Amino acid sequence: MTVASTDSACKAILVSEGSAASLTDCVARVALRKRALSLPIPPKAGHDFPSFVELWGEPSELRLTIETWPFAARAWLVRESVPIAYTRTWPSGKASPGVRFLSTVHRLVGLSHVAFEEHWRGPHTQVAKSYTVPVWNYVQDVVVEAFDDLSEEDGFVGMHFRTADEMKRRWQAFPEEASRGAEDAAKFMDVDRSISIVAVETVWDEMKP
């Protein structure tokens, strides 16, 4: 299912089965310029969201990687936006500090893909940036193409926090801010359909021999 030109897609997402060890080795060895693997804590074997793999490259490279992926997986080409970016100071292949909140994102029924993306990347991003407890790294992925006809995801969000405590405080310590965020989210997404995990991320931007 294609929802936009794939020319704008330079990233793929896979929600993949596989053990932590086998996925780690697989992602580390993929011949692309940048790869990342986020694994849920605790592990979610049999869950709808067992892992979150991110791959960056040219669309043709990403398609080939998806077609030859060695584990059962669902896959998408996406258009990425990073409104808030951390500065990585740790080496390639080492787990990133902190924790990452990951969730599927679904459009409200009747809302166009264009209106969905515009609201998420415009007004909602400003709301997300206004919280007292900031996000350390904020990634928005809008689906450009899904590799199965049953896919209903319109996007994925990744919100990385320096500590698990900061993640909890963002919503629990400031309920008025959480309510404001939820109210704005309801303008463009169906929150009840989202599937979420808390995960630990590892990024590779060097090739493993």
Are 56 and 48 within 8 A, CB to CB? no
* pLDDT in 10s for each residue of the chain, 209 residues: 555 544 556 999 999 999 999 999 999 999 999 999 999 998 776 778 999 999 999 999 999 999 999 999 999 999 999 999 999 999 999 999 999 999 999 999 999 999 999 999 999 999 999 999 999 999 999 999 999 988 899 999 999 999 999 999 999 999 999 999 999 999 999 999 999 999 999 999 976 55
Q: What angle do CA 203, 55, 128 make, to 5 degrees?
A: 75
- pTM for the model stands at 0.93
- Evaluate whether the domain defined by 8-204 bears CATH number 3.30.70.100: yes
What per-residue confidence (pLDDT) applies to 5?
44
57 CB-near residues (< 8 Å, 6+ apart): 10, 12, 32, 33, 34, 65
**Extents of the domains making up the chain:** 8-204
